[in-house]
Amino acid sequence: MNPTAKTIYTPPRPNLGPDPLDESPSWLGIALAFAFVVSAFLVWRRRRRKPIPPTTKARLSVPDENSDSPHERMIAWSLSLRASMAETFGSAWLAKTTEEIANDPVLIDRIGPEPAAQLIAFLAEADRAKFADALDPQPSTMADSELRELTNIIATAALPKTSPHPS
């Protein structure tokens, strides 16, 4: 063999590439594709969540004026107001602190600035009564009738106020 000569390798036949597809798809392919789509739909339908029916609002319990001490009644009103907010605005409101409730603009938008201020003031008083070390905490500055009215305002604020659309 001559080291200076170039050797060219040629394939034994030309590379024609992949075979072309048939002109019309086979009935078997169409049937398999249809079966896949139907089974995917059935799996999706089975796995999706069933809608939760709307719950009927249960009457919230409000503390009785004569049953508990003023300290216990204040805490019970606080729990009742928080439960009312959770039922109206969503369960995440149960986990909110009084400061987080005060900083949430949804409350003012739904119930108005004056009831929101009264609510925040009462919740702050109730927090002080609940977590204070004093044996004789200050009684609430709000009467039970005002607290009952505040609970009703929160309960009726379920839908956001909408402004009329300009024509």
**Parent domain of 85:** 70-155
**108 in a domain, yes or no?**
yes
- The tens digit of pLDDT for each residue in 103-126 reads 988 888 888 888 888 888 888 888
**84 in a domain, yes or no?**
yes
**106 in a domain, yes or no?**
yes
Q: Is 29 helix (H, G, I), strand (E, B) or coil?
A: helix
Share of the chain above pLDDT 70, in %: 69
**109 in a domain, yes or no?**
yes
Model confidence band, residue 38 (pLDDT cutoffs 50, 70, 90): very high
Share of the chain above pLDDT 90, in %: 7
Residues 101 and 123 sit within 8 Å (Cβ to Cβ): yes
For position 135, what pLDDT does the model report?
57
| pLDDT tops 60 at residue 53 | no
How many domains does one find in the chain? 1
| pLDDT tops 80 at residue 52 | no
Question: Does the reported pTM lie above 0.75?
Answer: no
> Mean pLDDT in the chain?
76
- The tens digit of pLDDT for each residue in 5-34 reads 677 777 667 777 787 776 666 788 889 999
Could you give phi then psi for residue 149, rounded to 5 degrees?
-65, -40
**136 in a domain, yes or no?**
yes
Q: What angle is formed at CA 75 by the lines to CA 82 and CA 90, rounded to 5 degrees?
A: 10
Least confident among 47-51, 92-96, 126-130, 147-151: 47-51
**126 in a domain, yes or no?**
yes
For position 79, what pLDDT does the model report?
87
Model confidence band, residue 35 (pLDDT cutoffs 50, 70, 90): very high
**49 in a domain, yes or no?**
no
**141 in a domain, yes or no?**
yes
Model confidence band, residue 39 (pLDDT cutoffs 50, 70, 90): very high
